[in-house]
Amino acid sequence: MGDVLRHAWVIARKDLVLEFRSRTALVSAAVFTALVLTVFNFGRDPTAVATVDLAPSILWVTFTFAAMLALNRAFQLELENQALDGLLVSPISRTSLFWAKFFANWVFVSVVEAIGLPLFVLFFDVPVGGVLLPLVGVIALATAGFVAVGTLFSAMVIRTRFAELMLPVLLLPFLVPPLIGAVQVTAQLLGGRPLSEVTGWLRLLAAFDIVFLTLATLLFPATVNE
């Protein structure tokens, strides 16, 4: 177990260093997030639907598509000079590789969300003052689930043609449960309701994380072995 975690950390740190140096995907995802929020802000009719009803869906749609950019990039990094072959030849376990990619993706998506959340508050003028901590917790919880599934699928499609198209097609159906849960909890929090009223949705998010992290960990080796 020690080796698995140590190797995972070595690879995840390398991924984060590469992203920090190139900043390609991070800048793209951040700009994408800002643009989508801007479009939604100016494209909606504030007199037709209350902001607090619409805003949670907009937030999660934005985060989901921004995350796709990160997930697409996770294994693209390894295709440069065919470094993935080096990882597969090396004595690391495939589980290390999954956890490395999962952690790096989760950090990456969290950074994009950290950039997107203030813009969301600014554009939609939603009251987050009293619920910021629970809201951040819910974002972290939901993000972990869809990054787990996304990491698995991005490994599956990386050697296919049109990988960038395949990933959303495969991934989005699996994201419906956590997205519904995340939108519901976010709506309740922004509506001033206590967390105790959304424990069912929180349980669903936590269960999704546990189930899909476990499944992805178990299935990942088969996806990267030839």
Partner 1 sequence: MLRAEGLRHSFGSVRALDGISFTLSAGQTLVLFGPNGAGKTTLLKVLAGLTRPEAGRADVAGGRRAVGWIGHQSLLYGHLTVRENLLFWAALYNVPKAERGRRAADLLARLGLADRAEVPVRFLSRGLMQRATIARALIHEPRVLLLDEPFTGLDLAAAAEFRRLLGELGGAGRIVVLATHNVDEGIELATDVAFQTRGRFVHFAPRGARGAAEIGEAYRRAVASG
φ, ψ for residue 193 (rounded to 5)? Answer: -85, 150
Which is nearest to 186 in space by CA: 113, 96, 84? 113
Contacts with partner 1 by CB under 8 A lie at: 3, 6-7, 10-11, 14, 17-18, 21-22, 77, 80-83, 85-92, 225-226
Beta carbon nearer to partner 1, 17 or 215? 17
Closer by beta carbon to partner 1, 92 or else 190: 92
Q: How far is the CB of 77 from partner 1 (least distance, A)?
A: 8
Q: At closest approach, how far in Å is the CB of 210 from partner 1?
A: 28
Q: Smallest gap, in angstroms, from Cβ of residue 105 to partner 1? A: 17
Output 98 or 208, the one with its CB closest to partner 1. Answer: 98
Nearest distance from residue 87's CB to partner 1, in Å?
7
d(CA 186, CA 200): 13
CA distance 48 to 31: 28
- Let me know how long the chain is: 226
**Helix (H) or strand (E) run with residue 204 in it:** helix 199-224
The CB-of-6 to partner 1 minimum distance in angstroms stands at: 8
Whether the CB-CB separation of 115 and 30 falls below 8 Å is answered with yes
Q: Which two tokens stand for residue 101?
A: 């990619």
